[in-house]
Amino acid sequence: MRRLIPTLLLIATAAIVGWLSSWQWREGSFDALLGAPPVEVGNALYPSFEPAEVKHITVNGSGTSVKFSLQNNGWQSTSPWRDRMDPRAAVAIINFTRGMSVEDHVPRDKISEEKAGLTYEAVTILLESASRKPLAHYKIGRSTPWKATVKDIPEPVPTVFINPRDKGRKKHVYACTGDINSLFKDGFRFLRDHRPFYFNPLKLNTITIVSKQGQLLIARDSPNKPWRIAKPLDLATDPAAMKSLLKGLFELQALKVNDKSASNAANATENKDATRISIRSFDSESQTELEIRSTEAPENAETTAFVSDRPGVEFLMPAKPVSGMTSLADLPLSINELRDPALTHLNVKALSGIAILPSTGPEILLSREASKPWTCIINGVAQEANEPNLYLLLKTVTTGKALAFESDAATDFTPWGLDRPILRLRFLATDNQAFELRFGMNSNGDCFVNRLGTPTVIKIDESLIRSIAVCPYEWRGARLWSIDKVNLLAIRRSGGKSPSLTLKYRFIDEAWTATNDDGRDLSAEIDPAKANYLLSAIEGLQVSRWLAVDDESAINALKKPTLEYQIVEKQFDEKGDFSGTITRNLTLAPSDSNAEPTSYFGRLGSESNPFTVDAESYDKLAAGLMAD
């Protein structure tokens, strides 16, 4: 008998050791049995799982338990309601759990559960893998009174009380970084997706809008192709408007989500004045339809909506703009909001000719040959085209936008003055493709444009027509003159930042001499580098804009010039023999009375047309010449 007792003790010990070994093998440690030590400050509370492992989320609190599972169509709640979970909420919960860093800890029996917000009513979160293996299980309490400093985050972050509910880890309460308590307000309603649509914008194939105005179909052939309006007309879309529509549909959000029976939802779809927006992706055979019921009164700020892939769910939508939210009023849903408002999509590189045909005045023909400058022909006389005006013309017709689309079925263009256009622009490409724009004005002074051969009339801003140069003098070359310093003899200047003087130039050694009005020699006081800089400015002087002969502002300003030049050059005959000298006179005056005018009027000798130059060009001509 005495030998039996030690034997039984040995057997019992072996059994206990075996059981403990089995426990450790199954649980990974003795923590679940004996209790794990607290996680050290600065360490993650749940470092042992990757966010992608989470396939199930359970949230409990105040007697309510909500279960979510990740399915092919995103996160879905399985109880107590069957609806889509807001994917942003799922990401927030997972990232918060994975990123919780311990700031402090205390034994659970040393802290008041009520003060920490860890009573039975507190929210409990359980994250599980696909096989239902628990990845994290904890109770989240109130925010703590202190904030934490986190690396790479400039502002202090809040902290919250956390009590792990995993086996062996219940004995400690932690203060951890982060706080997502706002997600769990109002009966967990923020966990439901308040956005009716859930789609990948890059995979979207078609958008159909049905409203009182009719049906509008927008489609694209592949994800890398542009969107086009397919019905009721084949039209290009405005990229900015399409971006706004896609962003708006993705971010469209309800003020509230309610559960409704299937019969109620079915009855709602009978609303005849409802607007329906349907989307379909390239990888789907079916489409998702959002039905927006018309408001009972136009002044109502809210309306109801239903979406086909969430039956029995009613959305209370903002019908008018709401700060911080995308409302139905923010969506571009009409054909004129979505169509491309550009006047043309002109390929400038392929352009070989432009004919400007004003209703009054001669035809202006602009043409070019490959790799050569543009030429302007007026009344049979060819000259170098004015590059700034050509640039402005091309910019106008390629970037000009419609104010409104008047008609897409016009046959009689009289109401818009297009039967007798005030201006026509004809464009010819290198492949002989041509088109013409007609500009008209109605009796109210409103301006319109029509592409010849099409029934579309577009309303435009009057400034668009005014920006197109239609007078022959406006197409004169921008280069004011051709000064050859080889033949330059003298420059006389009055005004500017140096006293009036005469500069003489010798090209062979690039030497400068200078005298004042009294004949005193100032050559030693002239800075040759400044004189050379002035000569470069004179040689390269360009006109900003040629003006009409009778431009009153220019005429009055030039009566009191602030800068005058006389340029004297040698002249040679056809045989190359010296035939005398030629003097060019240039007069400049400010275009306004400001201390620093933005431009200056000018006139060249007895030329009939004045012009303007920019302030930078004037400053170069007026710069000081004396050595410092």
The per-residue pLDDT for range 170-207, each reduced to its tens digit, is: 999 999 999 999 999 888 888 999 999 999 999 999 99
162 and 225, same structural domain? no
Identify whether 69 is part of a domain.
yes
Identify whether 13 is part of a domain.
no
525 and 495, same structural domain? yes
Boundary residue ending a domain (428, 448, 474):
474
Q: Are strands 381-384 and 404-407 parallel, antiparallel or unpaired?
A: unpaired
- Residues near 546 by beta carbon (within 8 Å), at least 6 away in sequence: 386, 473, 474, 476, 609, 610, 611
544 and 461, same structural domain? no
Q: What are the b/e assignments for 545-575, b being 16+ CB within 10 Å?
A: bbbeeebeebeebbeebbbbbebbbeeeeee
The DSSP line for 173-191 is: EEEEE---GGGG-GGGGGG
d(CA 359, CA 440): 10
Helix, strand, coil percent values for the chain (each to nearest 5)? 25, 35, 40
pLDDT on residue 24: 45
356 and 330, same structural domain? no
pLDDT on residue 437: 95
Query: In which domain, by residue range, is 576 found?
Result: 488-622
Number of domains in the chain: 4
Identify whether 20 is part of a domain.
no
Boundary residue ending a domain (449, 474, 499):
474
Closest CA to 255 of 325, 308, 313, 186: 325
Measured between alpha carbons, how far is residue 80 from residues 63, 68, 76, 254, 512 in Å? 12, 10, 11, 20, 96
Closest CA to 60 of 135, 137, 2, 115: 137
The DSSP line for 523-568 is: GGGB-HHHHHHHHHHHHT-B-SEE--TT-HHHHHHTTS-SEEEEEE
Identify whether 1 is part of a domain.
no
Closest CA to 346 of 436, 247, 258, 264: 436
CB atoms within 10 A of CB 117: 20
Identify whether 530 is part of a domain.
yes
Beta bridge partners of 612: 545, 601
185 and 256, same structural domain? no
Identify whether 160 is part of a domain.
yes
Boundary residue ending a domain (338, 370, 386):
338
d(CA 117, CA 103): 18
Identify whether 183 is part of a domain.
yes
Measured between alpha carbons, how far is residue 533 from residues 379, 508, 538, 589, 621 in Å? 39, 18, 9, 21, 9
The region that residue 132 occupies, defined by phi over 0 for left and psi between -120 and 50 for alpha, beta otherwise, is: left
Beta bridge partners of 585: 566
State the burial class of residue 486 (Cβ atoms within 10 Å of its Cβ: 0-12, 13-18, 19+): exposed
366 and 331, same structural domain? no
Q: What are the b/e assignments for 487-523, b being 16+ CB within 10 Å?
A: bbbbbbbbbbebeebbbbbeeeeeebbbbeeeeeebe
Name residues of the chain where pLDDT drops below 70: 1-35, 261-272, 296-299
Contact 75, 90 (CB under 8 A): yes
184 and 81, same structural domain? yes
160 and 262, same structural domain? no
d(CA 352, CA 287): 47
Q: Are strands 302-307 and 313-318 parallel, antiparallel or unpaired?
A: antiparallel
**Strands (DSSP E) found in 260-359:** 275-281, 288-292, 302-307, 313-318, 351-358
Contact 236, 58 (CB under 8 A): no
185 and 36, same structural domain? yes
d(CA 340, CA 345): 10
pLDDT on residue 3: 57
Closest CA to 161 of 109, 213, 102: 102
Contact 218, 333 (CB under 8 A): no
d(CA 419, CA 70): 64
pLDDT on residue 98: 93
235 and 262, same structural domain? yes
Identify whether 124 is part of a domain.
yes
- Residues near 140 by beta carbon (within 8 Å), at least 6 away in sequence: 122, 123, 124, 125, 160, 161, 162, 180, 181
248 and 108, same structural domain? no
d(CA 152, CA 327): 35
Measured between alpha carbons, how far is residue 585 from residues 478, 492, 502 in Å? 17, 9, 14
Closest CA to 74 of 88, 58, 63: 88
Contact 431, 350 (CB under 8 A): yes
160 and 214, same structural domain? no
pLDDT on residue 20: 42
d(CA 42, CA 216): 57
CATH code, domain with 507: 2.60.40
